[in-house]
A and B are shown apart, each in its own frame.
Chain A
Amino acid sequence: MLEVVQICKRFGGVTALDRVSLTVAEGEIVGLIGPNGAGKTTLFHVISGFVRPDGGRLRFAGREVIGLPPHRICHLGLARTFQIVQPFTQMSVVDNVAVGCLFGRRDGRTDVRQARDAALRLLDLVELTGVSTLPAHALNLSERKRLEIARALATGPRLLCLDEAMSGLTTAELDRMVHTIRRVHAELHLAVLMVEHNVRLVTRTCPRLVVLNYGQVVADGPTETVVRDPRVVGAYLGTRSGAGA
């Protein structure tokens, strides 16, 4: 469903993405990991249309999507969250999500009241029902991360891209978040591509991992094999003979 082929992106002299290729199939849940500065977030920006790559191809839902603005990519069914949460701070929590219901797809809802009802159902799914009438600026980080997910889901995606949905959470919140992501994946039948820092959590959640290091894919495959791959271990811990073994 998502095909990333030989994507390159340079910022000045820094090569953030170096011929990155990966695919995500319908309904799959894939973890994207890598050390700081590996290019994970840049890849997300490219996939969602916020950053235009210097080279390569990008196909989603059977369409070439490079050059499409972010809202058009959203309409095709690709939703993303942000690592640094981006709520509409002065709007209520339910309206934050209702915006996604109203504008997330071409044939989206047109009635504000219906959109709010749909938004409430999604808030229930991510366990935010209790705070739906509060303004978004009143939420704590864990709730904001959930709000990001609900708003992304409101656009009716076939692929949900989560950018560090779990960073900065406490241990108890982490377990709830893993549970929520699994539940969303199961109930809404969508594919999930998640960037994550915490390797332990990602191995618990994702049957398949893609590892980025210095803008290159160093491993891609079933989680058990990838975590034992010497190049992956090297990327995280370093190797005696330098990175890449």
Chain B
Amino acid sequence: MSVRRALPAVPLLLLAAGPWILPRDLVTALLFTFLLITLASNYDLLGGFLGLYNLGQASFFGLGAYVTFLLLLRVPLLAALGPAGSTVAALAGGAAAAISAVLLAYPLLRLRGAYFAVGTFALLLLLRLTVDNLPQLTGGSHGLYVSAQHYLSLRAAYLLTLSLAAASLLLNALLASSRLGMAMTAVRENELAAAAAGVDRFRVQQVAFVLGATPTGLAGAVFGLHSGYIDVSVVLGIERSLFPVIAAMIGGSGLVWGPVVGAVTLRAIDVALKNYMQLPVPAPAIYGGILVVMSLTMPKGILAGLTRAPQAAARSGSPAPPRPARPRTR
């Protein structure tokens, strides 16, 4: 039992040794994969458990990055502290994402279904506009730089993003068998019945929203400190928001490992197309084509397609991916 539980730690330790044994470009590729895994599993905390499709996941990524940078640039004490200052600023970036999720839950969670998806997407657009139009504060379209003393080395960034990805996965796995996870599944399945059984729908969704925003905010901070430069298109990019959704859906939404499979697949296709193939047509066209074929052949995701998800989910106690209620059988 305890051996079985410790098994995932083995590949984790191997991965942690990556920066010392792997070539540099592969380390970078993995770092970006970890970022996508983090965002995709954070997205799926709402998308998979609650059936709330957050198209603005990047809002929290951007918030984390911008708050971190602004603190380092505007607070002399933090700047003077060097790496310790970066740590404090990055944690503050994560906290900023969490706090804004607490507050944003009030307007956004009044929305249901497609309206929630559109509302979260609008939030991302709103943040992009705000940052673009406050150049004195945010650098506008020129972006922001931090001084070299705050840069995160490739190794440090790699280990931090790996930890964030692992923590996000662990969070989803623990939720699947927890009290809160049961409440989330109940709310997804039937809000009316959940309320009648004593579940506080809003509070449950709000907690999930915050849990899904915090690692993403920290990931934004780490990403920013690693690259040393942020702007709207990088940390608040539309594709930054949509790729986690695609990763979760391609991999298998509602399954703990689904976003991982999806993220690795997406990154692999991306790297292969852009770096190793001489294409007669633009890479995104091929990319899109592959995604269309995959979603047609495995509509519930790769993992669900491979494992016949309903049975696997019932055994492990994790919820099956959301789908419309079946008609009565008898």
Contact = CB atoms under 8 A, between A and B. Distances in A.
Interface of A: 48, 50, 69-71, 74-75, 79-80, 82, 86-92, 95, 98-100, 102-105, 108, 110-112, 115, 133, 135, 137-138, 140-141, 151-152, 154-155
A216 B322 CA distance: 42
Contacts of A90: 185, 189, 319-320, 322-323
B239 to A, nearest CB: 31
A138 B177 CA distance: 22
Interface in B179-223: 179, 182-183, 185-186, 189-190, 192-201
Q: Chain A's interface: helix, strand, loop or mixed, by majority? A: mixed
Interface residues of B, number: 30
Contacts of B179: 102, 110-112, 115
B194 A99 contact: yes
Given A86-B193, A141-B330, A98 B198 contact: no
Contacts of A140: 328-330
A86 B190 contact: yes
Interface of B: 177-179, 182-183, 185-186, 189-190, 192-201, 310, 314, 319-320, 322-323, 325-326, 328-330
Contacts, number: 101
Nearest to B199: A103
Contacts of B322: 90
Contacts of B320: 90
Contacts of B197: 74, 99-100, 103-104, 151-152, 154-155
B199 A87 contact: no
B196 A91 contact: no
Contact of A69 (B182, B193, B195, B329): B195
Contacts of A70: 195-196
A198 to B, nearest CB: 21
Contacts of B185: 88, 90-91, 95
A74 B182 contact: no
A15 to B, nearest CB: 24
25 contacts: A69-B195, A71-B200, A71-B201, A74-B196, A74-B198, A75-B198, A82-B196, A86-B196, A89-B190, A89-B325, A90-B185, A90-B319, A95-B185, A98-B182, A99-B186, A99-B199, A100-B197, A102-B179, A102-B182, A105-B198, A108-B198, A133-B314, A137-B325, A140-B330, A152-B196
